[in-house]
Chain A
Amino acid sequence: MMHISATVDGVHRMGEVEPRLLLVHWLRENLGQTGTPVGCDTSNCGACTVLVNGRSVKSCSVLAVQIDGKSITTIQGVAEGETWHPVQSAFKECHGLQCGYCTPGMVMAAIDLLSENPNPTETEIREGLEGNLCRCTGYHNIVKAVAMAAAEMGASS
């Protein structure tokens, strides 16, 4: 077992973990942070995407021991109190989710995309979210939501 400590959604967390434990399983099973779901076992679907030190990673492709000393943001930590993140608001406004299973990863990937490219074209949004699969929406409203969030965030910054 190895000792790790990390900040998860603003809270300092520690634990003894098996070296093989994946970050997503540490979040879900050890910390009870079940907002981040698991959708596949080949790192294709992106449902488990979180931010590590502000950059998006698929938490099924990172070992828990690799995030020792780092800061993790999950879907459960993006709103500030009662204030939704603009990406969350835009997903609701544009009906960018149906079953909601891909949504945590999609929102986190979109946040990272917009931090890199605050004013993406439709093609850039589509290519930027290529690593996150959705089976319900056909992506149409997800793309709209990310464009709306970009406009909102641009207007408010």
Chain B
Amino acid sequence: MTATIETTGAVGRPIRRKEDERLLHGRTNWTDNIQLPGTLHMATLRSPMAHAKIAKIDITAALASEGVVHVYTGADFPELPGTTCVWPVTDDIVMSHMPAICSDEVRYVGDVVAIVLATDQNLAVDALQLIDIDYIPLGAVVDMEEALKEGSPLVHESAGTNRCYTAKMPCGDYAAAKAKADVVVTRRFINQRLIPNPMEPRAVVAAPMGMSDELTIWSSTQIPHVLRILLALTTGIPENHIRVVAPDVGGGFGAKLQINREEILTLVLAKKLGRPIKWTESRSEHFVSTHHGRDQIQDIEIAATKDGTILGMKVDLLADMGAYLQIITPGTPLLGMFMYSGIYKMEALDFTCTGVYTTKTPTDAYRGAGRPESTYAVERIVDELAAELGMEPMELRKKNWIKHEEFPYTQIAGLTYDTGNYEAATERAMEMFGYDALRVEQAARRAAGDPVQLGIGISTFTEMCGLAPSRTLGALKYVAGGWEHCTVRALPTGKIELITGTSPHGQGHETAWSQIASDIIGVPVEDIEVVHGDTGRAPYGMDTYGSRSLAVGGQAIKLAGERLVEKAKIIAAHQLEVSPDDVEFNAGTYSVKGDPEKSTTIQAVAFAAFTAHNLPEGVEPTLSGEATVDPLDFSYPHGTHLAAMEVDTETGKVTLRKYVAVDDCGIQVNPLIVEGQVHGGLAQGIAQAMFEGAVYDSDGNLLTASMADYLLPSSADLPSFDTDRTVTPSTTHPMGTKGIGEAGAIASTPAIINGIVDALRHLGVNDIAMPASPMTVWRTIQAAQSGGNA
């Protein structure tokens, strides 16, 4: 049930962020700010061809150029990989080898063919132009269906096919479900390719750090811990010689959940040359060199009875891998595999996904990773089913969703949703939206033939995040676990160090984790320092992605804090000369039951644990608590999002008039941060629907290769949002929390498109390609009016 949670502690309060002071004064530590003496700057020469043989490379002129110290080509590093894939999703998957530097063949525009090291960044870039390369063009293959055809150019000749894998997951008997159906609706949805664009481009500095064999690598990464392991595996440098530091990181959204060539090359060269190597990505490089997101063709079928009972869904996906498999390229579309039934009950779900190689930049995780795609498919097809049945789309949803009293509920793909209250979130959203009044206005405008039509877009979604029980990940062939670590140390002076394995890049962990620990160990938020993103100071962790940091990492913080408090209690009892059973702990103070005057503080205990002059028998000096927690299950946040879309039928211009998002992420540690996460997610999800899309020409050139060509929304393109939360605590998380980092991006895309289609349904429109630019919308209207769809 939805409950109002009263708070007496720090958790639940909209505390202003600790991070902000340094960020608001320019006292930041971005990777590109790091300037070490003797640094060589690396610049990368990238292929201008989508697919070609390298016939000849001449580096003579570049080597003679001012400031240039070294020029390397693929011949210098014949065995060195440029990435690695940790998720071979099927037994017969066709893996790929991305070289650190290509020596004989390039497979996408942006593939690395040479690198220059110079004393100055500009001089390194200057020298790139002096490298002379002869290419022999091979065929580009841009379209997934073309790529699968017999005779198509092969991205990896030795594989003999562009099919990377086919994964199937039949749940229930779809054929039987379909046989019972009165109505079957099929649609082809295109989840277009997106380019993540965190505001900080990637950057890396690698340097030998003197006194030992240690190499330190600072990288603008989401995954310092995972990266350390993968750098060891790809370079052969022992893991215990590598320290990875993620300093201030300016956004990630999945784009920095990766092991990249530039990290591998700078590390290897720092070791080889014994001096710091630095590389900073230009924005134009980001567009072709950092992995892209989404890019699926979704053939979706839904079967239902005429009273609107959903019987089953069939999902057939083509997922574009791009030219190589990076860290979780093949697994990304499968992160949505279990979620195609969304919040609805049904008896069958037949899922198939085929990964396809093309001569394009590799794809991988981008905010939501697999779940935006599944949510888009189910929320769009449910609207189409409602139209087919002549039912109000919200009524159709209500008829089919899991009711709050039915939780925990094991859905058709086998996941057990622990809690949820779709009724409460929907009721609140409809009230904030003025749903009924807008339906009246919509009917009036339609009757009046208003050129600007109104549509209402609905998205009632859930998602699975907080990856994940390690055992489950193993069963899915993912090669790592899903646990998270925390150590809480009480320092002799009474200050607290909270060492987390999560690696924030804008999420506010320094504040939120302090709030959690403050309540558990009873010290002020200001006295807690959160240490993160440095394998030297925070040795254990699985990093930040998939809305896992609170959902998994939060559990480790709680348990580590409780262990510290338990140890301190034994010491406190000894100091107070009573049994631990006679001591109670409240807000940082240990007192004797029934004699509250007799007390000590956790800070005093920390000092006593440090001096160790008078500890109980068998208790070791120092005071800390440590925990590594494997989650019981995924986390299932949900919510109801509503969009009022105005569409000018004469020009195709779409205006987002009002957006209401009611999310349920259980207990909120910091509602201010939660709301910020929702806002940012909404902007990215809305941007997919309305603005963004990577476009390639048939030769494999990326046409949207800069911020001037790829439309990232500005403040003028978006409205303010109306947001609220219902609170249905998770029962699988000890604090009742759920993930919230991706919910906005997952929910909002179908809400927008459903709204546009709803505005135009009476004109015969039943789908709009994304992004819904004025031209696309206008053409779709014209095509529908002349008897076909665009």
Tell me if A76 and B26 are in contact (CB < 8 A): yes
Tell me if A100 and B197 are in contact (CB < 8 A): no
- A28–B35 CA distance with the chains assembled, in angstroms: 10
Tell me if B506 and A136 are in contact (CB < 8 A): yes
- A127–B715 CA distance with the chains assembled, in angstroms: 7
* Nearest residue, chain A, Cβ from B505: A99
Tell me if B284 and A41 are in contact (CB < 8 A): yes
A8 adjacent to chain B (CB < 8 Å):
no
CB distance from B554 to the nearest CB of A (A): 18
Number of residues from B at the complex interface, CB < 8 A: 55
A12 adjacent to chain B (CB < 8 Å):
no
CB distance from A62 to the nearest CB of B (A): 17
Given contacts A104-B26, A138-B683, contact A99 B32 (CB under 8 A): no
Tell me if B679 and A140 are in contact (CB < 8 A): yes
CB-contact partner of A135 in B20, B251, B715, under 8 A: B251
B416 adjacent to chain A (CB < 8 Å):
no
- A38–B209 CA distance with the chains assembled, in angstroms: 27
CB distance from A79 to the nearest CB of B (A): 6
Tell me if B716 and A35 are in contact (CB < 8 A): no
Q: Size range of the interface on A?
A: 35 or more
Q: Which of B57-65, B160-168, B670-678, B755-763 contacts A (4 or more CB under 8 A)?
A: B670-678
B357 adjacent to chain A (CB < 8 Å):
no
- A39–B32 CA distance with the chains assembled, in angstroms: 11
Tally the A-B contacts, defined by beta carbons under 8 Å: 175
Given contacts A34-B26, A35-B25, A99-B506, contact A129 B715 (CB under 8 A): yes
A16 adjacent to chain B (CB < 8 Å):
no
Question: What residues of chain A lie closer than 8 Å to B23, measured between beta carbons?
Answer: 97, 100, 103
Given contacts A98-B507, A135-B251, A136-B506, contact A45 B26 (CB under 8 A): no
Q: Which of B17, B26, B28 has the most CB of A within 10 A?
A: B26
CB distance from A88 to the nearest CB of B (A): 5
- A134–B253 CA distance with the chains assembled, in angstroms: 13
Question: What residues of chain B lie closer than 8 Å to A29, measured between beta carbons?
Answer: 35
Question: What residues of chain B lie closer than 8 Å to A130, measured between beta carbons?
Answer: 714-716
A117 adjacent to chain B (CB < 8 Å):
no
A91 adjacent to chain B (CB < 8 Å):
yes
Tell me if A140 and B283 are in contact (CB < 8 A): no
Tell me if A95 and B17 are in contact (CB < 8 A): yes
* A131-142 interface code vs B (CB 8 A; 1 in, 0 out): 111111111111
B437 adjacent to chain A (CB < 8 Å):
no
- A119–B700 CA distance with the chains assembled, in angstroms: 49
* Nearest residue, chain A, Cβ from B677: A98
A93 adjacent to chain B (CB < 8 Å):
yes
* Nearest residue, chain A, Cβ from B249: A99
Tell me if B27 and A35 are in contact (CB < 8 A): yes
B736 adjacent to chain A (CB < 8 Å):
no
Question: What residues of chain B lie closer than 8 Å to A88, measured between beta carbons?
Answer: 24-25
CB-contact partner of A40 in B283, B714, B720, under 8 A: B283
Within 8 A of A (CB), among B167-224: 197-201
B19 adjacent to chain A (CB < 8 Å):
yes
CB-contact partner of B676 in A47, A95, A132, under 8 A: A95
Q: Which of B237-245, B622-630, B705-713 contacts A (4 or more CB under 8 A)?
A: B705-713
Given contacts A41-B282, A129-B714, contact A139 B708 (CB under 8 A): no
Tell me if A42 and B28 are in contact (CB < 8 A): no
User: DSSP majority for the B interface?
Assistant: loop
* Nearest residue, chain B, Cβ from A92: B20
CB distance from B140 to the nearest CB of A (A): 25
* A86-116 interface code vs B (CB 8 A; 1 in, 0 out): 0010011101011111111001000000000
CB distance from B675 to the nearest CB of A (A): 7
Given contacts A74-B26, A95-B17, A136-B251, contact A37 B721 (CB under 8 A): no
A64 adjacent to chain B (CB < 8 Å):
no
Tell me if A135 and B718 are in contact (CB < 8 A): no
CB distance from B681 to the nearest CB of A (A): 8
Given contacts A40-B707, A92-B24, contact A139 B712 (CB under 8 A): no
Question: What residues of chain B lie closer than 8 Å to A28, measured between beta carbons?
Answer: 33
Question: What residues of chain A lie closer than 8 Å to B30, measured between beta carbons?
Answer: 34, 37, 101
Question: What residues of chain A lie closer than 8 Å to B122, measured between beta carbons?
Answer: 18, 20
- A94–B756 CA distance with the chains assembled, in angstroms: 32
* A8-39 interface code vs B (CB 8 A; 1 in, 0 out): 00000000001010000000110011111111
CB distance from A81 to the nearest CB of B (A): 12
Tell me if A138 and B17 are in contact (CB < 8 A): no
B248 adjacent to chain A (CB < 8 Å):
yes
Question: What residues of chain B lie closer than 8 Å to A129, measured between beta carbons?
Answer: 714-716
B139 adjacent to chain A (CB < 8 Å):
no
Question: What residues of chain B lie closer than 8 Å to A18, measured between beta carbons?
Answer: 122
Given contacts A35-B27, A84-B24, A135-B253, contact A42 B197 (CB under 8 A): no
CB distance from B606 to the nearest CB of A (A): 31
Given contacts A36-B26, A75-B25, A132-B714, contact A140 B708 (CB under 8 A): no
A-B contact list, 10 entries, CB within 8 Å: A34-B26, A74-B26, A97-B24, A98-B506, A99-B250, A100-B19, A103-B23, A132-B714, A137-B676, A140-B718
